Amino acid sequence: MKPDFTFTWFLFLFSFASAYGKTVNCAPCTIVNPLGNSISIKAGQKVCLKDNFTWEGKFYQMEGGEFHIEKGSTWHIQKEDYTLNNIKIYNVGTIDFDGDVLMKEETVLSNEGSIQLKGQLALQFQTAFLHNKKHGQIWLNGLHFQEGIFENEGVMTLQCLDQLDSAKQPTDSPCLYIDKGQTLTNNGEMHIAKDAKFQGRTIGKGYFNVKGSLHLENDQPLLGDMTFDIGEEFQVASSSMGTSKWLTFNVTGRASCHRNQNFTSTICNTNDPLGDFDTPCGKEAKYNAVLDCTNPPAKLVDFSYSSLGQNIYCYWKTHNEFNIKHYILEESLDGKTFEFMEIIEANNKTGDFSYASRPLPEKTNNVFYRLAMVSESGKTTYSEPIEIQVKSGVADYSVYPNPAKKDGIFKVTTPNREQVQLHIYNLSGQLLTTEVLEGEVKYTLKIKELNDLQGILIFEFS
């Protein structure tokens, strides 16, 4: 009899383990396919949507019951926000909400089907539990994980179309926000269309695709073997990356660090155009590779000047200026002592950028210019000075009367009150006279002294 008892006990354990964790409870449905727009669900009750049924109602009272959406059936709420409180929802079909969803105390949302939220989802209570199972798919606009339990084994997509605050006003808050003290478990895939900020921790062996920026703001924020694809910026403000055995960061944008520390976690990078990571992924990647968070300096590609019409401008070109706050153009008459001229805000992004100053003031002497590059931390670096030389020559002149019958008066103003020579020729190229002029003078050209010459005269300065 002993073998029979052992066999019977084994079958009992097998049956119990098989039933544990399934989304469909073996208990019979109390209410099947509710037809009203608003119903109540109480403890011990089990409301079911079956047989490809679509319900567009809601629960006006939740007291601990269960709501099951079976495969092929849909629960749809239009154009309003909804709060889930003290209810257990098991979905194998489809949940389709047009507004925001707030999960509060004693609320379970377990998904093996499809959930589509046009609004944002917020977990706001310690006993709120969101579980996206292996075959589950969730699409939502944004997720704020304030308090509760969050586990993902399937695919979750955050579309991040319009981020709004509680008053429905636009906000620049991250699309995925994990509050301090909370732990997100990801063993599936999470796709985030914009930015994500982790003030809490993330554990698991999942995949993150962050199209925008990823900011880690907690000590040991990552516990597990994870892969991150980051489109714009990877910013870390932690003193330790965590106890992960292997982390892979594929960063298209830049890596930065608030305190410029190095991390000795197992980190590599497969797409590192800026050289922010010491160790690439591949054959050369080693255990305990180092992520150097210090930013490479912005590169000043060119600093010069050019003329446009009668105005002169300073211009400069930069590459990857993501740590630059602004530029200051400075002026000097001796190339040693410089004074403030103009401040120009930087784009503070990766890529190539061009800048130009306002028109430079007209000068009578040679002048020097240099560019001060001020970083976000206040550190200032300077370009090599450039010199703009003022060319000698006649700045202004006039002849009157013209034509002259007796005496013609020629008025000339020279730059820097320096000397210039006035040469007078006839049309045959014959030099008639040369005069030395300085500063602002009036020179009287007496026709009689040129042998009563008639016709056209040519003036030349040197």
What does 203-252 look like in DSSP terms, one character per residue?
ESS-EEEESSEEEE-SSS-EES-EEEEESSEEEE--S---S-S-EEEEES
Distance CA 462, CA 445 (A): 18
Does domain 299-388 fall into CATH 3.40.50.300?
Answer: no
In sequence order, which residues have a C-beta less than 8 Å from that of residue 8 and are 6 or more positions away? Answer: none
pLDDT at residue 148, as a whole number: 92
Residue 427 is classified by DSSP as T
Q: Retrieve residue 417's tokens.
A: 């009150």
pLDDT at residue 404, as a whole number: 62
Amino acid, res. 395: A
Q: Retrieve residue 112's tokens.
A: 């093996």
Query: How far separated are the first and last CA of the chain, in Å rounded?
Result: 127
Distance CA 89, CA 23 (A): 9
Strands 431-438 and 419-425: antiparallel
Strands 87-91 and 386-388: unpaired
Count Cβ atoms below 10 Å from residue 111 Cβ, excluding itself: 26
Which residues partner with 214 through β-bridges?
A: 196, 234
What does 154-179 look like in DSSP terms, one character per residue?
SEEEE--S--B-TTS-B----SEEE-
Q: Give the global pTM.
A: 0.56
Strands 431-438 and 155-158: unpaired
Residue 72 is classified by DSSP as T
Strands 233-236 and 213-216: parallel
Residue 194 and residue 160 in contact, taking contact as beta carbons nearer than 8 Å: yes
Distance CA 299, CA 302 (A): 9
> Torsion over CA of 428, 429, 430 and 431, rounded to 10 degrees?
150
Digit-by-digit pLDDT tens for the chain (462 residues) are 334 433 333 333 333 333 333 444 456 888 888 877 888 888 888 999 999 999 998 888 888 899 999 999 999 988 788 899 999 999 999 999 988 999 999 999 999 999 999 888 999 888 899 999 999 999 998 899 999 999 999 999 998 876 555 555 556 678 898 988 899 999 999 999 988 888 888 888 889 999 888 888 776 677 777 888 877 777 776 655 555 556 666 666 665 544 334 443 334 443 443 344 444 433 333 333 344 444 445 678 889 988 776 788 899 998 877 668 899 999 999 989 999 999 999 987 767 889 999 988 888 788 999 999 988 767 888 999 999 887 655 445 666 556 666 555 556 655 555 667 777 777 677 787 787 776 555 555 555 555 555 667 777 766
Residue 155 and residue 176 in contact, taking contact as beta carbons nearer than 8 Å: no
| Element at 356 (helix H, strand E) | strand 352-356
pLDDT at residue 444, as a whole number: 59
Which residues partner with 280 through β-bridges?
A: 269
198 sits in the region (left: phi over 0; alpha: psi -120 to 50; else beta) called beta
Amino acid, res. 124: Q
